[in-house]
Amino acid sequence: MKISLYILFIFAALVLGAVGCNRNNGDIGAWFGTWQLVSVTNLSGELMPMDNTVIVKFQNDIIQTTRQFGHHDLEEYYANWREAGNTLVIDGVGKSIAPELRLPGNSVVELEIVRRPGTVMVWRYVDAEGIGYEYNLKRLY
């Protein structure tokens, strides 16, 4: 009886472990993980001020941006995302994204992927008035 329960426990652990590996439709490649926004510069090279730490996470089709204030207070924002060639498309319609990214709210935004995800990644965005920003992110884990 003890051996049967032991085998059942091992089997249940293996099944739960296998299911957990494919959460949210599984792997999304190099995008998956946690990234820190290191800097935002406008396209004339001026460094934009960032008062808070901004963390970006990708999982399945969800992008989570988190603002971390002093004393570990957090604000979390969620939107949908997808990759289309050399473009990162963020669908923020009815959703929100951290204000430090300076992206228009409640809209679909296309950012150029300047450097693909690895240990760092770089995006570029130019708005309707021709004002542009470059985003530098580094992988945390």
Q: How many CA atoms lie within 13 A of 43 on its CB side?
A: 12
77-108 confidence digits (pLDDT tens): 999 999 999 999 999 999 988 998 999 989 99
Return the closest-CA partner of residue 54 out of 71, 33, 32, 39: 39
| pLDDT for the residue 50 | 85
CA 134 to chain centre: 16
Whether pLDDT at 21 is above 80: no
pTM: 0.77
Q: Which domains does the chain have, with CATH numbers?
A: 29-139 (2.40.128.280)
Return the closest-CA partner of residue 122 out of 77, 95, 86, 97: 86
Distance (Å) of CA 108 to CA 88, 94, 96, 115 = 10, 10, 11, 21
101-131 confidence digits (pLDDT tens): 999 989 999 999 999 988 999 999 998 889 9
